[in-house]
Every structure is written in C-alpha cells, then in structure tokens.
Amino acid sequence: MAGKDRGKLRKIDAHMGEAQTSCQDKIGSSGISMQCNLQHGIRETPFSGFGLLFRTARQRIVLDKSTLYTVFKSARRQYWTRRRSGHSMIHRRGRETTARTSTTQSLLDQLIAWHQIPGIQYVVVDSDSIRYEYAGGVCDVQYPAAPVTCDTCFLTSSSTKVLTAAAVLKLVEQEKVKLDDPLSKYFKEHPYGDNLHIRHLMNQSSGIPNPMPLTWLHTAEEHCNYSEANALRDALQVNPKLDFQPGHKYAYSNLSYWLLGKVIEQASGKTYREYLHEEILGPLDIDPNQLDCEIPSSTIARGHQPRFSLMTLIFSFLTSREIWEKSVGRWARFRLLYMNGPAYGGIFATAKGGYAKFLQDLLRDKPKLFSKSSTKELCFSEQRDVSGKVLPTTLGWHRGHVLMGVVDDDELTGTGRSTTSPRPPLQHLYFGKPGGGPGYHSNLRIYPKLGIATVFLANTTEVSEGSINALSDLLDKEFLIEANRAITPG
C-alpha cells in the first residue's frame, strides 16, 4: 500500500479514537441498544456489536473519487511494471475475462482486493462485438468459493428506467401512446391532475415528489403475497401534491417511472413483465435468465454494504430488520430483495448477456428494437422545459460529458514518457443511466460518436450519482482513448 494511503489510515485511526468516546457517550445517554438476540428470532442488524465499528474502521477506505484515482494510478503503475517484466496481469480464479491485459483490469482487481466491492461485472461493446469483459469477486462474502461470473445477475435499481423508457417508445411507435397524452388517459388513480403528460414523466420534469425509497422494498419470501397496486396507492397517498407545475424544470422522481409502468400495462393490455419479454427481450434475443424483473433461476449476487459506515448506521434505523441478513466481517448483507415497482428499479440482469445486448442494439444504425429510425432519434432527443432551457435528460437517459483533460502521447501509447506536443482536451458526449440502492449500484453508458457502450454492475450500496459516474469515468477511460484514436485522422 502506498505511503499516502497508510497516512490516510493513520488519520482515520486517530479520528475514530475520538469518535469512539463521543459515540459511546451518546449511545449510553440515549439508551439505544444496538444488540439483537438471534436466539429470540430477531434478525441481526448490521451494527450488532457496535464497538467493532471502531476496532475495524481502519480496514475500510471510503469509495470516493480521490480513492478511485489513487487506485487507478496504482493499477496503471503496476500494469506497466509487470508488462515490462513480462508478467501477465490475468488471474482467472474467481472470474472470467478476456485475454487482453489492461490498466482497467488492474483497477478492477484492486477494487476487489482493497475490499471496495465484493463483486463486479464490466463490459465494453460496439455494435457488433464485445471489446472487453470482466467478472470478478464473489456473489456473497459468506461463500467465497462462489465467484461472480458472466452469468451472475445483479439488481440494477434505477438503470431499469432506460428499459421502461424503451418500452414506452415502442408503444409510441405502435401508436398506442402519445407523448403529450395526459397520464390520466391511462391511469386515473393519481392525484396530480390532467396537466401531467407522458413526456413529463419520461424526461423527469413532472414535478412529482421523490421521497427516499428505502421502504419501497420487500423480500423474496414476501413477493408471492405482495400487491404492487396497494404499494403504489400508498405511495401516492403519502405524496399527493406536485412540487412544481409539470414541464417547468428538471427534478428526478422514481414515482414518475413507477407510473410509466402503469401506462405500459394499460396501453398494451399486458403486465409490465409480459410486455418486457415480448417487446424488448424477444427482438434482442435476451434470455430471461440474463434480464428479468423476477429473481432469475441463475446465480444472483447478494447485496452488500460496508458494515462500519455512517450510511449503514443510518440505513439500520430507517429500514426494516427483515431486509438484513447476518453480517460477515466488514460487510453488512441484505436478503434477496425486490423493489416495490419493477418499472422504476426492479430489473435483475447480467452485464454481458443482458444490458450489453440492449446497448449494442442502440448503437446500430437500424436497431432491431425499433421499426422506425425516428424512434431511436426520439430516444436521445434533446428535451426542454417550458422556458426553453435544455434538460439534463432525454426520454429516459441522462446526458453527460467525460472530459479526459489534456491527453499527451504517453496517455495514448502508455509509454510513460513525456511529450512536447500535447493534444487538445478530449470531451465525449454520453447518454447514461446510473442506478443505486440497498446492496447494489450500476451504470450504463452509450458514447454515440465513438460507437461504444459500457456497463458495470456491482453488489455493494452506492446512492451517489457522482460516485457512480466517477467509477465509470475511470473504467471507461482506456477504451475512450482507444476509440478516439480509431476515428481521429492521422
């Protein structure tokens, strides 16, 4: 470990020593008990044995942007050192990967080795082929002999929304839905009035509130008796008023996409899952074991969260004990969970056999998913509010740019030598959709001018869009430079 990181850990130790006394005083004075008795049938919370937080906090480096860049730089140095000495960076135990050696692989290996992520899949595609694939780590830290493979499914949370948007656009193409139709035409049981249109729901300008969805979960054991209709009705009753008039500005809302699921069902006459299978999975030849809104029969990665973190302490108070499994070492573990609404965050998928096929199709000039070229254009079309301001979203996707900085020849060739002729900054437009929730996070990106797309799926909690995008920025960098060279004359 680098000296800088050892220094960081020493600082953490010092701060945690002070925090231990402070927190123990607060816990003692408030009478809060963090102990749960499993012998009496009470499920363990991730903070059972609270004192362990302070004894083992030094083992956890928070996954933030600065840490990611530290890992990336270390991985890059390690890669070139091993390449010059003739050693391979490929370790096949516990994962499947292409034969290509890369800085990206070193980064992914170190994220797992440094206990940032229990398991992860990462795939890079163009319209016809898989350029890179990685599957590493474990499905469940309690069973380290069960590795993440390319067939392991992850809950993909809000990354689901691009599939819901594609399903709505299929209905638009089939003339069963119009973007400027009011929601009330398809779903009357809502409190938001007739000025709320389908377009507002899709481009996140609806004005519908976005409450923290930590209670919008149920376990796999509860799923057979679960009623989505009742759950949606309760959510709407608790959030009956718009925050602003539809179309006036951007504001993210999970409820908007939950309601779009009802639009799909009413307009198609099928359940959300049936329509997904027939109109999305079928044309793209995607096996439901690779992408579905039911837990697949294939292997699934269990959700994890750093046990000794402020986020886990907060989650343990805000969520039901029934969603937690017994913690193992540094990791809190979740039971297998469903989102209450499949259309806003309920898809289970693999990177390679699921989302990669969807992304590849959208890279093609004539996608199989849509029969009209105008539908694909509509999917990525610029959206504006009533004042004419461009929204940060299209009809389902977030717009963004990766600024690669001033890229010199050593970045392009990997020689590590300085150059006297710096190239101009590389800035790439992408359409993306991060997803994050209890136990998982993910990101999908399409780089239209470069003709590539990327997806990663991981089984640890991350709810910050900035942190999720920061990881994609690092993972994608090598392939963006490569793709840019391919399209740059000379």
Instruction: Return the pLDDT at 75.
Output: 54
Exposure string over 282-298, b if 16+ CB within 10 A, otherwise e: eebebebbbbbbeebeb
Instruction: Return the pLDDT at 69.
Output: 53
CA distance 187 to 194: 11
Q: CA nearest 106: which of 72, 137, 136, 83?
A: 72
User: How does pLDDT run along the chain (490 residues), one tens digit per residue?
Assistant: 444 444 443 443 444 344 333 333 333 333 333 333 233 333 445 544 433 333 333 333 344 555 555 555 555 555 445 444 433 333 333 334 444 447 899 999 999 999 999 999 999 999 999 999 999 999 999 999 999 999 999 999 999 999 999 999 999 999 999 999 999 999 999 999 999 999 999 999 999 999 989 899 999 999 999 999 999 999 999 999 999 999 999 999 999 999 999 999 999 999 999 999 999 999 999 999 999 999 987 799 999 999 999 999 999 899 999 999 999 999 999 999 999 999 999 999 999 999 999 999 999 999 999 999 999 999 999 999 999 999 999 999 999 999 865 444 344 434 434 444 455 566 889 999 999 999 999 999 999 999 999 999 999 999 999 999 999 999 999 999 999 988 887 5
CA distance 442 to 458: 6
How far CA 398 is from CA of 122, 129, 225, 472, in Å, comes to: 20, 24, 35, 14
Q: CA nearest 457: which of 444, 473, 470, 476?
A: 444
Q: Which two tokens stand for residue 123?
A: 């795939």
CA distance 76 to 360: 28
How far CA 383 is from CA of 201, 287, 393, in Å, comes to: 12, 33, 7
Q: Of how many residues is the chain composed?
A: 490
Instruction: Return the pLDDT at 425.
Output: 64
Global pTM reads 0.81
Instruction: Return the pLDDT at 297.
Output: 79
Element (H, E) at 445: strand 440-447
- Break the chain into its structural domains and give their ranges: 157-297+337-487
Q: What is the DSSP string of 299-316?
A: -BPPPEEESSSHHHHHHH
CA distance 65 to 82: 26
How far CA 253 is from CA of 233, 420, 435, in Å, comes to: 16, 48, 13
E-assigned strand segments in 312-364: 324-328, 331-334, 337-339, 348-349
Amino acid at 227: S
Cβ pair 143, 376 in contact under 8 A: no
Instruction: Return the pLDDT at 411.
Output: 42
CATH superfamily of this structure's domain 157-297+337-487: DD-peptidase/beta-lactamase superfamily (3.40.710.10)
Amino acid at 45: T
Instruction: Return the pLDDT at 369.
Output: 97
